[in-house]
Amino acid sequence: MELIRGLHNIRPRHRGCVATIGAFDGVHLGHQAVLNKLKQISNELQLPSLVITLEPLPREYFAPIDSPPRLLSFREKYCAIAGQGIDRLLRVKFDEALSLVSAEDFIEKIFHDQLGIKYMIVGDDLRFGHERRGDFSLLQRMGNEFGFNVSATETFEIGEGRVSSTRIRQALENSDFEQAEGLLGRPYTISGKVVYGRQLGRTLGVPTANLQLNRIKAAMAGVYAVEVQLEGEPGKYYPAVANVGTRPTVDHGLTAVLEVHLLEFSQDIYRKHMDVIFRKKLRDETKFASLDELKTAIHNDIAIASAYFSQADK
């Protein structure tokens, strides 16, 4: 999938496409319904499919601390959308200047003049442009003026409610990974590159892989039994214990970190990418009075996780 990094990188060859726009946080089953329709119309019209997304998300730009936690980093989102078979992803930088662009100018100058969109597929709750004044009816009206068609996908529901990023965040907060998987269409996973940390885990006898989360905060916090898939080892899963949070015993930071201890594992995986698949919550993140107490708790976590995976293998 081609990544177009910013409006200034749109080229003449990018004109003429079938497009959609949205946050696509999670790329859940509701998003996948939009993307499937996008591919269908793209194939019918013999035009490239394009997803437009804003970075940072507008709510992150205006209220970075209070905005809902991301389900996916941008890299994870890119990979998930690419996995749906989309041709192009346009990443538009959201800043003060863009926030002041009216919905009408968004349609005329970006959708029509720059991208030459021939067909747009959008969610039924779409809002865009200055003060979120743009919606489906405006798109449809101006589409008629500029010669492109617009259609909306119906709300995608599972069980008693709409599939949404908010509903998935609630499931993760409740450690209901089965429900999250049902809404996402895949197990909830955090991916990232292994980086050097403070090496505290090694001094405690429990070496950990530290992952860059590339987000202000995670959608959950605590200690979890997880499975790890390493870059270059497709189909192989390693049992592990992961801590997601701010490490209150040893740090006073606000930014969430992800630390993973792979069970009975001794390879050097520094700088490798890994996927961390969440299976079961073991406990809440806790501030311990001493490192000895922390060490005891970690070894207890490992014992519980080992028992969990042993039972799961039967």
Strands of the 17-21 sheet, one edge to the other: 2-5, 88-93, 49-55, 17-21, 117-123, 149-153
Tally of domains in the chain: 2
Give start and end residues of each alpha helix (H) in the chain. 29-45, 58-62, 74-82, 96-99, 103-105, 136-146, 165-173, 177-184, 200-203, 291-312
Is the residue at 181 inside a domain? no
180: in domain = no
pLDDT in tens, 61-92: 999 888 999 999 999 999 999 999 999 999 99
Strands (E), 176-264: 189-195, 209-211, 222-230, 238-245, 257-262
Q: Which of 138, 158, 178 is the last residue of a domain?
A: 158
Closest-CA residue to 175 (of 244, 232, 123): 244
pLDDT at residue 10, as a whole number: 97
Q: Are residues 146 and 242 in the same domain?
A: no
Range of the domain at 58: 2-158
According to DSSP, residue 94 is labeled: P
> Which of 137, 158, 179 represents a domain boundary (last residue)?
158
- Torsion angles phi and psi, residue 203, rounded to 5: -70, -25
Q: Does 165 reside within a domain?
A: no
Q: Read off the pLDDT of each residue in 253-263 and give the average, rounded to a whole number.
A: 81
Q: What is the pLDDT of residue 249?
A: 46
Q: Return the CA Rg of the chain.
A: 22
Mean pLDDT of the chain: 91
Write the DSSP assignment of 115-135 as a string of letters: T-EEEEEEETT--BSGGG-B-
| Residue for token pair 């589409």 | 143
Q: Is the pLDDT of residue 212 over 60?
A: yes
- What are the backbone dihedrals phi and psi of residue 63, each rounded to the nearest 5 degrees, phi first? -145, 75
What would the two tokens of residue 177 be?
């990974």
Is the same domain home to 73 and 194?
no
DSSP letters spanning 127-164: -BSGGG-B-HHHHHHHHHHHT-EEEEEPPPEETTEE--
| 175 within a domain of the structure (yes/no) | no
Q: What is the domain-level CATH number for residue 228?
A: 2.40.30.30
Judge if 195 and 302 occupy the same domain. yes
- Say yes or no: 31 and 84 in one domain: yes
Return phi, psi of residue 218, to 5°.
Answer: -90, 165
| CA neighbours closer than 13 Å in the CB half-sphere of residue 237 | 13
The answer to whether residue 182 sits within a structural domain is no
State the Cα–Cα distance between residues 227 and 111, nearest whole angstrom: 42
> Do residues 132 and 204 share a domain?
no
Over residues 126-171, the pLDDT tens digits come to: 899 999 999 999 999 999 999 999 999 888 899 889 999 999 999 9
Candidate from 27-31, 105-109, 110-114, 125-129 with smallest mean pLDDT: 125-129
Strands 189-195 and 238-245: unpaired
- Separation of alpha carbons 135 and 146, rounded Å: 16
- Using one digit for the tens of pLDDT, what is the confidence trace for 7-54? 999 999 999 999 999 999 999 999 999 999 999 999 999 999 999 999
Does residue 170 lie within any of the structural domains? no
Q: Is 171:187 a contact under the CB 8 Å cutoff?
A: no
Percent of the chain residues topping a pLDDT of 90: 73
Can you read off the two tokens belonging to residue 144? Answer: 């008629």
Give the integer Cα–Cα distance in Å for 209 and 111.
43
Q: Give the strand pairing for 88-93 and 117-123.
A: unpaired
Quote the pTM value.
0.90
